[in-house]
Amino acid sequence: MSDKFGHDSLVMRLAERLRADDVKAGAVLPSESALMAELGVGRQQLREALGVLEAFGAVNSRQGARRRWVGADLGSLVASSAELTGEPRTTVAELLVVRQALETSLLAKVMPLHTAASRAEIREIAHEMEDRAAQGRSFAELDQQFHLSLFAPLRNSTLEGILGAFWTLLEVVEGPGPDVAIDPEVAAMHTAIIDAIEAGDFNHARYELDTHFYGVRRRVVPSRLRNKNRQASS
């Protein structure tokens, strides 16, 4: 991945750390020393990340006073960063790589946590996605709901933030209701995922999830960026 994304990932980690601790708006941030130790970074790196959050309005500082947390949505931060750097499609490509790695690695952990009721709920979402696709209607919000519901038992706020960031940025790149969210083949990929999960076949479920991500990347990411990310991850 690019150096830009590596730098931005510290900003996201810092924002997510504050959000995960339910730091209230207006509350004083932990000391720089505490944050440096927790995040494993130097003072200069931390100050740069805090400066980015301040530029986005997530952190407020006054001369002679401790910084205060204003609040931030991870998706909005990613979208703002991508717009400022002029590289939203690059960031979409990078987020897809991160999503694929996270979701496929967490699948084995989450599958045993699902109940018959939660699997039925996910199947219902997949059916509605296919129905909308057949009618030429966007199923974008159902796609988000599918993936959030699939990993909900883990209560992983970082994954939820990345999912939100991806969909926020996809709207920046393609506008509301991107073409990928009306594609019947993409909708059918979700049905294949829940089919494998209901069958209790982890290997097949992982295969279908990987197939889904490769399919989405072909549709929303230009080939030159797919090649760039393939080289960066090798």
| Percent of the chain clearing pLDDT 70 (strictly above) | 67
> Could you tell me where the beta strands, DSSP code E, fall in 30-92?
59-60, 68-69
pLDDT of residue 226: 44
Same domain, 138 and 197: yes
79 within a domain of the structure (yes/no) = no
Give 137-160 pLDDT, tens digit per residue. Answer: 989 889 989 999 999 999 877 677
Neighbours of 6 (CB within 10 A): 10
Same domain, 164 and 216: yes
Same domain, 65 and 114: no
DSSP 183-221: -HHHHHHHHHHHHHHHTT-HHHHHHHHHHHHHHHHHHHS
Q: Would you state the structure tokens that stand for residue 159, as one six-digit string?
A: 């994954």
Domain limit, last residue, from 40, 72, 104:
72
211 within a domain of the structure (yes/no) = yes
The CATH code of the domain that includes 59 is 1.10.10.10
pLDDT at 33 > cutoff 60: yes
Domain around 134: 84-233
214 within a domain of the structure (yes/no) = yes
> Does the model's pTM come out above 0.85?
no
Burial 145-158 (b: 16+ CB within 10 A, else e): bbbebbbbeeebee
Residue 77: is it exposed, middle or buried by C-beta count within 10 angstroms (0-12/13-18/19+)? buried
Q: How many Å apart are CA 25 and CA 125, to the nearest integer?
A: 35
Same domain, 117 and 159: yes
Most confident among 2-6, 22-26, 218-222 (mean pLDDT): 218-222
Mean per-residue pLDDT, 105-133:
96
Domain count of the chain? 2
Same domain, 113 and 157: yes
Same domain, 143 and 188: yes
Q: What is the mean pLDDT of the chain?
A: 77
Domain limit, last residue, from 72, 98, 117:
72
